[in-house]
Structure 1
Amino acid sequence: MARVVKRKDERILTRLADEFEQLAAQLNSRAPITMEIGKFTQACRLVSPLVQHFGVALKFVDIEYSAEVNGIEKAGKSVNTLEDLLDREIQQNTMKDQSSASRSLIRVKRSLEMFKIIFEQTMASSGNSIMDPVNTAYKQVFYPYHGWATRKAVAGALYTLPTKSLFLTRLKLDEASAFVLMQRIVTALAPLIHYIDNLFHSRESAQELLRLI
């Protein structure tokens, strides 16, 4: 059977929608629910090419996000699932370490939350600016955990965001097609984010970590 090779110019929103829908389908079909680290990080890595289309404004997200995905992937060399990852760090009492994979998972989840909100706000907004959608998402997700200097830097960087039309041009999509794909991604991310939250809420020793980061 011929091996299917994905082209580098394949539209990133389509790939994101496909990958996250596969994860969502997995969550809806398995009992008990588990999530393989390899499949999770494979989907998450596709976010970085998307971030680049926003320009330097979201560079801070991409740098941290890529490092956190790497941390989860590294942990996947010792355990197979996200459930096993948390349970191992609970047993080893390393969950609260600054470099723990559990912390990385929370930060990755927050990045996914941010892009979910960006897409929701972009689809709901009129005009040719994506500054408000990005600012709303940032304030809801990352703002409470950032210091004054970071907040100020992000506020300034928002003015470098591309217009909505330029952003869509970079994605090689018209608005109607982009919104269809954004909605697919939003729909797929909702159960994934809920699932990760539940991983921590279902483990008493892990609940506090959600408030610390």
Structure 2
Amino acid sequence: MRKLWVLLFIGSISSFAQPVKIAKLKYDGGGDWYANKTALPNLIEFCNEQINTNLALSEDVVDVGSPDLFLYPYVYMTGHGNVLFNNAQVENLRSYLTSGGFLHIDDNYGLDQFVRIEMKKVFPELEFVEIPFDHPIYHQKFDFDDGLPKIHQHDGKPPRGYGIIYEGQLVCFYSYECDLGNGWEDQSVYNDPQEVRFEALKMGANIISYAFTAEL
């Protein structure tokens, strides 16, 4: 499936191609999966301008247990609160990720303690590992030699990029103590300095590029 999405990514560079959709993940548990309402549209616009993609201008919403999950090469998960996957959702998400799909989890503050438990259900045999700074996800269109940029302070810890590696391939990237999505939001939402927002958008574009083109 990843090879199909590589072709879609290459095709999306053409202005004549059908726009490619990305999606935000809807999950149970009461957490605000719908947070960062302006984030993905701004990231999409940036990617279309800076890395020549032809992404549809608004994201879809897809439930973690829906068969429609397989329609999207990149799925974004965010929020502050509780996350809960039932058995069918666990099976569906694992199938998606092991078939070439890519999940980006972006802790909007407070997600960490919940999402680690639920992702352990998806990959009981695997752990989140810190992604080294020389990994290709940090060196697509833009180079991040020191890993993730620090967008919001939260607990004041350094930003960390974690991942789940399945059969040698990064299938889930987890941005922690960083809050890329807040950096993608309209400036009126958080009023971050323009240079901070630009760093967040550049890293987001790298993740999109990696999700579409990395071989499984």
TM range (shorter): under 0.3
TM-score (norm 1): 0.25
The higher relative CO (CA closer than 8 Å, separation ≥ 6) is in 1
Larger Rg: 1
Higher fraction of strand: 2
**Could you tell me the TM-score, scaled by structure 2's length?**
0.25
Higher helix share: 1
